[in-house]
Structure 1
């Protein structure tokens, strides 16, 4: 462990360990996951087929002699051979989804899978861009951008009239969700002592959010109302995030020592502890940064995960469960 890392770990303990600010930050992070989780899981209800019957069956004149229309069941009927097709559908009034609103059944049933895949592509893009973004502009601005994306595009989705435009909106919502899952927890754990990080991260907030979404879907029965509810939930979350502090670890890594000192003072005040002595912390950080900069280390990017054998041994096992998780979503 370097001198800088040792000083930072001691600083976390001196700032109250798991104090009031750390607890509030953990609560905010795990509550805010409702917005991201509901945005990703939305297609589970929004793309649900509520069941339909064929209202108008067009039968070719040449087939009228051997097709007895009175014996044909119209339940989930798309066509009768090549001689007749259904041109109008009637859906169950108990549930309003994009399937019932845009007739995404029969020859259009593939649309729901495409929209869901487009959304998950957005999540993938959000995951990739967030690392460099959070390292460039900071954890807090990246998190605010993410929640702003989710609030704005969930609100826009409420007014969408075609599935093609809706697919684009789902892609942008996916980017917002991908950013949240990548940056929210690093910001939280950078304020939490190392011994308590597993507890802070492993709290099952996402499964709880998923169960709540099932109840909300059962209650609302309308895909537009779900988007509007997510917007209303996202607004207070966005306002709350404006008051959380930026990670002082990131500020120190960017040599923003004055802002880092202000953040440390803020944490001490919230936790009601005396501000610890940070003499030597910034100097140790500056020396470590200067030492690493002389080693000609290239800027971090996605390719660095595959740059050597040791990193590949970590990247591959972590990539597999991520793909499995995305598949189940």
Structure 2
């Protein structure tokens, strides 16, 4: 799909303005918080790919192993001639497991907020799957109301891996499912990856890796503000702060100020006290009952559910 350069420029300006508004609003509230989607610029997406390969970070390899076991069954239940729609596609590594099993797909539609990352992924997939129609969509899947009309004609199967559903507040997760249900239409289905509740130490280690990659991922948000919003964050004056809140069933991630400091962002000044935090991400964990309740509220029902032997992760097919 060829897009005029002036359209790309307009879209980049609009994305930059959305980022500016979200940052100024988020830094101006108490407590301070910036939506997790802004972690995923090109550098942030690349850092997250590194996180997925870390020994402490079990979700990626565990989900991939489950998908390798159930991909043929998913393909059988989906039926021929489907369009596979992936929400938050990233590098589409796990997607290849489904693409290899669903050999008669009508199209693959990856949706991602990072245009640079998405374009590179789409180019690789077109090369590796020359007979597959790849129609990437750049944007926020929480706001997506429609898909490219060229993919119409077959059943739509959504794919939302990586336990990204856990990054949403429960009410946001329900809103996402309801919107996805409308986009995927009445005969559609959704393949959903969900991280399960487990030993708190296992969770803590997964988000505080010994190599410090997750810390760089969190602080990259400040680096992005410096680059795109003329901010003056000193990254050495902030730390990555991640812990498991067992009562809420979620990992909480923040950038914590290590000293009193004043920072300029997009022409505005913000004072930080020592220990003050900027919330960047939640990661909710579910049990099977929680998955079923979430699906029901979103207008879906569990058709099939697969787990690994250690009950770390689940893949559900929602109809």
TM-score normalised by the shorter chain: which range applies?
A: under 0.3
Flag the structure with higher strand content: 2
Flag the structure with higher helix content: 1
- Give the structure-1-normalised TM-score: 0.22
Name the larger-Rg structure. Answer: 1
Structure with the bigger RCO (C-alpha within 8 Å, sep 6+) is 1
